Amino acid sequence: MRFKFLVLSLLPGLLAAQVKPVAARVDSVLALMTLQELVGQTNQYNGFWNATGPLPVGNDWVEQRVRALKQGGVGSVLNVAGVNQVRALQKVAIEETRLGIPLIFGLDVIHGYQTLTPIPLAEAASWDLEAIQNSARAAAREATADGINWTFAPMVDISRDPRWGRVMEGAGEDPYLGSRIAEARVRGFQGDDLSDPSTLAACLKHFAGYGFAVAGRDYHTTDYSAHTLYNWILPPFEAGVKAGAATVMNAFSAANGIPATGDSALVWGELRRRMGFTGVVVSDWGSMGEMIAHGYAADVRDAAHRALIAGCDIDMESDGYLRYGVELARRNPADSIRFREAARRILSLKFQLGLMDDPYRYCGASQPDVRTDAYEMAVKSSVLLKNSGVLPLASGLRVGLTGPFAAEKNGVLGNWRVSAKDQSAQSLAEAVAGTWTYAASSPHSVGQEAFHAELTLNQTDTRANDAAIKALRKHDVLVLAVGEHGYESGEGRSRASLRLSAVQQDLVRKALATGKSVVLVVYAGRPLVLEPWIQDGAAAILWAWQPGTLGGSALADVLTGRREAYGRLPMTFPRSEGQIPLSYDGYATGRPGPKPEVFWSHYTDEPNEPAFPFGFGLSYTSFAYRDLEVTPSPEGWSATVTVRNNGTRAGSDVVQLYVGRQGNGQLYPTKSLKGFKRVILEPGSEARVRLELPREALTQRDGQGRTVAFTRGTLTITVGPNSREGLTWTTTLNP
C-alpha cells in the first residue's frame, strides 16, 4: 500500500518518470485525479487529530475531518508538528487515500521554532541581512527536523502604525529595508533547494495592505492610496517573489471595497502578471469565510467562488472549497479549470519539496543546536536609544536589577512561540546571577498567559515595587526591565495607548527618586511611547524588543560592553499616539513651517518630530561623517563619505543613504532609504565608505501603477547615521 500514488503514476516506467521534469510529473498525477481529489488538494485543515493515538470516535467534527482526509479531501495541514504526529498523519494520507498523495505540513515558524530568535521587528533592527538570513536558516533547520516543511513567514507588511500589534512580525516601515529583509528571510528559509530536507517553503504575507489597518486595529479594513500600494506595500512582496518565495498568503483586510482574499486585481494583476509569481496562494485562516462578515460575500459558497476567481489556491480553515468546490466546478467549466490549476500549483510544490518522492522526507533529521544563532541575533537586535555614559556598565559597579521582565522567562520569548516550551527563555536575572543583585518588583500581569487570550494587566498593586527599590537603593546603578509582554503585541493585540503601565511607571518614578543612575531595558514588540519624564530621567535606554530564548545573556553582554550596541530602529518612535501613523518618509506639505502664525502643518500640543527617528541607534563609540562626494556612474551615482571612529572603543555604524526628489511632476517622500552599509572601525581610525545609487532606484510608480523615471528636477542625496542626520549633496537634472 505504501507509495500507492507513486506506483500508479509511475506505471509507464519508474526510471523514466524519475527524470521527468516536475511539470510533466504533475501532469501525470493530475491525469489520475477525480474532480473531488483535485478540490481536496485545495483544502487545508488545522491539526485535528492526535494522529499517534487511536482513531477518534464520537466526535463528529473530528470524524468529518478524518473522513475528508481519507477521501483525499485534505491537501495540507497546519499546526501538526513533531515527527511522530507528522509521520502518523502522513501515513494516513499515503496509505489510506486512493492516490496516496502526501500532505504538506505548514506552521508559523516566525522567529524560531523551539529555540526562539528575537521577534522579526527586532531582527530588522540589526540591519544585518546576513544575520537575518542565518536566523531564518536556523529556524528552518530546527522546524524541518521536526517534520515541518512550510512556514507562514516572512510577514512583509509595511506599517507605520505601532498601535497595530502585528508590527512585531514585520520589518518595519520602510519598503527598501523591508525588501532586502524579505529577500534575506526567503533565502534563509528556502536555501537553494526546496527539496533539501533542512529547508522550508516560505510564504510572503499578508497580500496585501494588512499593515494599513485603519486606526491600527487588527483585522480592520484598510485605507491607502494607489501610490501607497505601489510604492510601499507591494515592493517587499516583489522582492520576496524575485527571491523565489514558494507561496503567498492573502490578507484578512479589505481595501477599495474588496477583501484581499477576493481581490483579483491584486492577485492576478499585481502578483501573478506583473511580479510573475507562479507559486501557491493560500488564504489566511478563515479569510475566505470572513468575506461574509465583511459584507462582501453572501454565504460560504459565494465566498468560495469569489476567492477561487481571485486566485486563492488553498482554503485555510473556511471549509469553502471542500464543501462547495465540486458543485462550483460542475456548474461552470471555468471553475473546474481554476481548481485544476490550483491543484497543479499545489502538486508542483509537493514535488519541489521532495514529498512526492519521499513523503517522510522531513521526519528523519536529529534536532540541531541553534542556540548560538539565537544568541547572536539577540545581541544584534537591541537598540541603544540613550546613553549618558553609564553604559557599558563598568565592572566595579554595584548593579541592582528589578522590573517585571528582569526574571521573566515567558513574555520575553515573543508572540509567535507555538513550539517553544513555556518558561524556556533565559532571563536577564539568570544571566547576571552572582554579579548583580536582583529584587522582584510588582508583576506586570495577572492570571492566564496564552496565545489566544487577552492578557490582564496588574493595574494597581505596587507593593513589591517599594520593596524592590528599598532592597536596591544602596546600589550604584539600577537596571529596570520594563515594557510589554510578548502577548501584548502580535495578532489581535492592538493598543490604543503605548505607554508603560501605571504600575511600571510607579517603579520608574521610585527608582528615579533614589537619585541613582537608572538604566531602562525595554522589552517590547513595537515602538512604545516613553513620556518625557521617563526619557529625560533615565541615564540610558536599551530597546530589547522581545529577544527570544537567549535574550538574557545577549542583553547582559551588551549592557556590560562585552558586545557592542548594534541595532538601529526599523520604525519611527512617536512622541505620542496622536502622531500616529508616523514614518520618516512622508510627503512634504504645501504648508511647511515653523511659522509665527498657526497656518502651517503642525500640532498645537506636540512637535511634528518623533521621539527617535527611523535608522537611529547609538553605539558605545562615536562616529563623525565628513567629505561626502557624489559622482555620476554609468548606472547612476556613487556616494562616498568618510566615517571616523572618534571614540575609544572599536565599533560599527550603519551608513545610510537617503534620496529626496522634487520637481518631476509627482509627489515623492521627502526622504527615501536607498542603500546602507555597516562599517566597522577601530578607535581613531576612519574609512571611505561607498554606496551606489542606481538610476532605477529613483523611479516611482504613479497612481495607475506605471513606472515613472526620475528625469528632471532636484535630487538630494543624504548620507548619514540615521534618517535625521547626515551630509547632503544636491543636483538638478535637466533644469
In angstroms, what CA-CA distances link 347 with 7, 67, 299, 489, 648?
A: 17, 21, 29, 36, 59
Nearer to ligand NOJ by C-beta: 78 or 559?
78
Q: How far is the CB of 321 from ligand NOJ (least distance, A)?
A: 17
Please report, to the nearest 10 degrees, the dihedral formed by the alpha carbons of residues 13, 16, 22, 24 taken in order: -70
Nearer to ligand NOJ by C-beta: 263 or 564?
263
Report how far residue 153's alpha carbon sits from residue 162's, in angstroms, rounded to the nearest whole number: 20
* Residue carrying the nine cell digits 524560531: 112
Q: How far is the CB of 150 from ligand NOJ (least distance, A)?
A: 10
Amino acid at 690: R
- Of 146, 157, 174, 284, which one is the catalytic site residue? 284
Residue 290 in the binding site for ligand NOJ (CB under 6 A): no
Q: How far is the CB of 203 from ligand NOJ (least distance, A)?
A: 7
The DSSP output letter for 314 is B
CA 621 to chain centre: 30
Count of residues touching ligand NOJ (by CB under 6 A): 7
C-alpha cell at 9: 503514476
Return the beta strands (E) in 277-362 as ranges: 280-282, 315-316
Nearer to ligand NOJ by C-beta: 5 or 150?
150
Nearer to ligand NOJ by C-beta: 78 or 140?
78
Q: How far is the CB of 306 from ligand NOJ (least distance, A)?
A: 19
Q: How far is the CB of 152 from ligand NOJ (least distance, A)?
A: 3
Q: Do 228 and 212 contact (CB within 8 A), yes or no?
A: yes
Q: How far is the CB of 259 from ligand NOJ (least distance, A)?
A: 14
**Nearest by Cα to 688 from 639, 727, 642:** 642
**Nearest by Cα to 628 from 725, 534, 733, 546:** 725
Nearer to ligand NOJ by C-beta: 163 or 575?
163
> Per CB under 6 A, which of residues 648..677 are in contact with ligand NOJ?
none
**Nearest by Cα to 654 from 541, 553, 572, 567:** 567
Member of 45, 48, 230, 285 binding ligand NOJ (CB under 6 A): 285
Nearer to ligand NOJ by C-beta: 152 or 224?
152
CA 132 to chain centre: 11
Residue 284 in the binding site for ligand NOJ (CB under 6 A): yes
- 20: phi then psi, degrees, rounded to nearest 5: -65, 145
Residue 491 in the binding site for ligand NOJ (CB under 6 A): yes
Report how far residue 544's alpha carbon sits from residue 307's, in angstroms, rounded to the nearest whole number: 41
Residue 48 in the binding site for ligand NOJ (CB under 6 A): no
The DSSP output letter for 382 is -
SS3 sequence of 226-256: HHHHHHHHHHHHHHHHHCCCCEEEECCCEEC
Q: Do 467 and 443 contact (CB within 8 A), yes or no?
A: no
Q: Is 34 helix (H, G, I), strand (E, B) or coil?
A: coil
Residues in contact with ligand NOJ, shown as a per-residue x/- string from 407 to 446 under the rule CB under 6 A: ----------------------------------------
Report how far residue 358's alpha carbon sits from residue 347's, in angstroms, rounded to the nearest whole number: 14
Beta bridge partners of 658: 673, 718
In angstroms, what CA-CA distances link 502 with 22, 341, 479, 573?
A: 59, 55, 18, 20
Residues in the chain: 735
Q: How far is the CB of 354 from ligand NOJ (least distance, A)?
A: 23
Q: How far is the CB of 57 from ligand NOJ (least distance, A)?
A: 28
Nearer to ligand NOJ by C-beta: 318 or 458?
318
Nearer to ligand NOJ by C-beta: 282 or 469?
282
Which residue is nearest to ligand NOJ, using beta carbons? 152
Report how far residue 80's alpha carbon sits from residue 146's, in angstroms, rounded to the nearest whole number: 10
> Per CB under 6 A, which of residues 160..219 are in contact with ligand NOJ?
205
Report how far residue 47's alpha carbon sits from residue 61's, in angstroms, rounded to the nearest whole number: 12
Q: How far is the CB of 254 from ligand NOJ (least distance, A)?
A: 14
Report how far residue 489's alpha carbon sits from residue 610's, in angstroms, rounded to the nearest whole number: 21
Nearer to ligand NOJ by C-beta: 282 or 297?
282
- Residue 389 neighbours by CB under 8 Å, 6+ apart: 539
Q: How far is the CB of 231 from ligand NOJ (least distance, A)?
A: 24
Nearer to ligand NOJ by C-beta: 37 or 491?
491
Residue 108 in the binding site for ligand NOJ (CB under 6 A): yes
Nearer to ligand NOJ by C-beta: 78 or 280?
78
Element at 44 (helix H, strand E): strand 43-46
> Per CB under 6 A, which of residues 351..390 are in contact with ligand NOJ?
none
Residue 152 in the binding site for ligand NOJ (CB under 6 A): yes
Nearer to ligand NOJ by C-beta: 211 or 726?
211
Nearer to ligand NOJ by C-beta: 78 or 425?
78
- Residue 201 neighbours by CB under 8 Å, 6+ apart: 104, 149, 150, 151, 189, 190, 194, 246, 247, 349, 352, 353
Residue 616 in the binding site for ligand NOJ (CB under 6 A): no
C-alpha cell at 355: 514529498
Element at 374 (helix H, strand E): helix 371-381
Report how far residue 538's alpha carbon sits from residue 387's, in angstroms, rounded to the nearest whole number: 9
Please report, to the nearest 10 degrees, the dihedral formed by the alpha carbons of residues 408, 410, 415, 416 taken in order: 140
Q: How far is the CB of 171 from ligand NOJ (least distance, A)?
A: 15
Q: Is 615 helix (H, G, I), strand (E, B) or coil?
A: coil
Q: Do 518 and 537 contact (CB within 8 A), yes or no?
A: yes
Residue 157 in the binding site for ligand NOJ (CB under 6 A): no
284 a catalytic residue: yes
Report how far residue 175's alpha carbon sits from residue 178's, in angstroms, rounded to the nearest whole number: 5
For residue 380, the number of C-alpha atoms closer than 13 Å in the C-beta half-sphere is 24
Q: How far is the CB of 234 from ligand NOJ (least distance, A)?
A: 18
Q: How far is the CB of 491 from ligand NOJ (least distance, A)?
A: 6
**Residues with a known catalytic role:** 284
What is the binding site for ligand NOJ (CB under 6 A)?
78, 108, 152, 205, 284-285, 491
